[in-house]
């Protein structure tokens, strides 16, 4: 799934590019949209479950600047017994050329909101996640 984000002044730091911490916000915004779009958010809320990031590995490739139109692409990359991981890229398209700005792998667990304890990924939760593994690979830029 692709989420569009336009870079505005409040995203820019003193060096006139998007601050590194803002990329994490861009990625999180896209993950929320991705969860909503795949109806996973409704399932989680209905079942009193939440998602908690436990590891983030981010690569910064190029700086994004004021008024850049960025596309954040997200896909589920792996489902384990207790954790899963999402792979995302931020891409800038300018003058017909796509440039990789950043990519990230986020590992997360599902927790029962009442107890804050992680749960095994099985049953209905697994059924909701498995279709997301197929992703939209054709939109990603190949990373060497």
Residue 124, CA distances (Å) to 38, 46, 128 in order = 14, 12, 6
Answer yes or no: 103 catalytic: no
Catalytic residue among 13, 68, 103, 138: 13
Integer Cα distance of 56 and 4 in angstroms: 21
CB atoms within 10 A of CB 38: 17
Task: Please give the radius of gyration of the chain, using alpha carbons only, rounded to the nearest integer.
Answer: 16
What is the three-class DSSP state of 49?
strand
Integer Cα distance of 3 and 28 in angstroms: 11
Active-site residue set: 13
């Amino acid at each position: 799934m692709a989420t569009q984000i336009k870079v505005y002044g409040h995203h820019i730091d003193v060096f006139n590019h998007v601050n590194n911490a803002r990329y994490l916000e861009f990625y999180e915004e896209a993950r929320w949209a991705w969860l909503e779009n795949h109806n996973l958010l409704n399932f989680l809320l209905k079942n009193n479950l939440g998602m908690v990031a436990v590891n983030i590995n981010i690569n910064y490739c190029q700086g994004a600047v004021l008024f850049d139109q960025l596309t954040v692409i997200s896909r589920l990359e792996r489902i384990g017994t207790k954790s899963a991981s999402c792979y995302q890229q931020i891409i800038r398209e300018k003058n017909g050329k796509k440039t990789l700005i950043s990519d990230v792998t986020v590992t997360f667990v599902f927790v029962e909101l009442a107890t804050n304890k992680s749960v095994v990924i099985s049953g209905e939760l697994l059924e909701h996640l498995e279709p997301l593994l197929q992703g939209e690979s054709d939109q990603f830029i190949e990373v060497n």
